Amino acid sequence: MQFDSTNKPIGIKRIRLAFKNSQRAFTWLAKHESAFKQELILLVLAIAVVFVWQITLYEKIMLLVSVLFVMFAEVVNTAIEAAIDRIGLEIHPLSGLAKDLGSAAVLIALTICALVWGGVFVSNLG
């Protein structure tokens, strides 16, 4: 089947299809990607902490956004890995580089998350 760029859905149908595709992707990630499963647990824990911790609304939003950013990076990393594996399973330096760059993006996101959480924690010590 070939993609038809002239006959794409529009309006509510496009939104509904996009939501359905995203839901399918989240389900796949939750079943097959251990890092994503760990990040889902991290998100649940973060939500619990945010509801209990007496901090400003801005701080609560920043904490949750930082965890969601890690999950975003993981989704992009997984997409890169899937595309590279689709192209071919043979070892190639550029394939390895693409996968390493995706992994680096997750590491950067985790660092940002840790800095945000650390900053909010330190600013609320007193």
Choosing from 33, 39, 59, 74, the catalytic residue is 74
DSSP assigned state of 90: S
Look up 74 and say whether it is catalytic: yes
Task: Report the Cα 107 to chain-centroid distance in Å.
Answer: 12
**Separation in Å, CA 38 to CA 3, 43, 45, 73, 123:** 35, 9, 11, 14, 27
**Separation in Å, CA 70 to CA 15, 31, 44, 46, 49:** 25, 18, 14, 12, 17
Active site residue ranges: 74
